[in-house]
Amino acid sequence: MRRMDVQNLSSPLRSANKILETSINLIRCD
């Protein structure tokens, strides 16, 4: 994979990762 491809993918991946982390944290709180 080229650097540019990774950078283009990283932003949506990061936001999805943050959403996953917050939902996991919410589930753990319950």
CA–CA gap between residue 26 and residue 2 (Å, rounded): 36
pLDDT at 13: 82
CA–CA gap between residue 14 and residue 7 (Å, rounded): 11
pLDDT at 2: 65
- CA distance to 6, 11, 22, per residue, from 15 (Å): 14, 6, 11
Q: Strand, coil or helix: what is 1?
A: coil
pLDDT tens column, 1-30: 567 676 666 788 889 999 999 999 988 876
pLDDT at 6: 66
Q: Strand, coil or helix: what is 26?
A: helix
pLDDT at 19: 92
